[in-house]
A = this chain, B = another copy of it.
């Protein structure tokens, strides 16, 4: 066997579980890019130029026109640009970096042709598409039934899954936009979580203390999409 195989290990979960052949289709076309906060990856109703296999940081998908609402988040477990997987060039959503990090960028055209060539790559990315779909349906459920405190607890745990550190660099203002609530509402809910000893927080920082307690506080809003991810992707 030729020793051509580059031994770069990706943190991205999709790239990790991908077959060597599929990875070989993508990897030569990867462009490692830093993702600074607020960087736009996709604009609503504009052609999607590239997909980003996240390595670090968090991307957020939002929709709803003027006053945007978060639909889902993507970290090193996933990839942006799902409309490409669906066979499309655009979507009415906006995707941007919420927590700085880095990603492997691949152009939409290359990804599209790789998807045509490989049925197994298609299968993997479609499974991830289902995971992301389920994540957004559970956002819908959380928005319908959850209190601010519960939704916030869910968001913090989901973000921690993707950061893998206990410190989340995020402001109340940002969270209030994501959850579509009033900014002081976020402040109060964070205090409530802190009073219960589940988090600490400082200017622009939230520190997870009791992850399991947060999950319980989320009152059933956390867990289902995560279990589906494990089942489908592992």
Contacts and interface: CB of A to CB of B under 8 A. Distances in A.
Interface of A: 63-65, 67, 69, 71-72, 83, 85-88, 91-93, 116, 119, 123, 126-127, 129-130, 133-134, 136-141, 143-145, 179-180, 220, 224, 227-228, 232
A98 B143 CA distance: 23
Given A130-B83, A130-B91, A134-B92, A144 B145 contact: no
Nearest to A130: B86
B63 A93 contact: no
A87 B127 contact: yes
Contacts of A144: 64, 69, 143, 179-180
A177 to B, nearest CB: 11
A104 B51 CA distance: 36
Contact of A133 (B119, B136, B220, B232): B136
Contacts of A87: 123, 126-127, 130
Contacts of A224: 63, 92
Contacts of A137: 63, 71-72, 93, 136, 139-140
A75 B152 CA distance: 34
A136 B85 CA distance: 18
Nearest to A225: B92
Contacts of A116: 119
Contact of A69 (B119, B140, B232): B140
A92 B228 CA distance: 8
A22 to B, nearest CB: 15
Given A83-B130, A136-B140, 4 more contacts: A69-B140, A71-B137, A87-B126, A92-B228
A28 B69 CA distance: 44
12 contacts: A63-B137, A63-B138, A63-B141, A71-B141, A86-B133, A92-B134, A92-B224, A92-B227, A136-B137, A136-B140, A140-B143, A143-B143
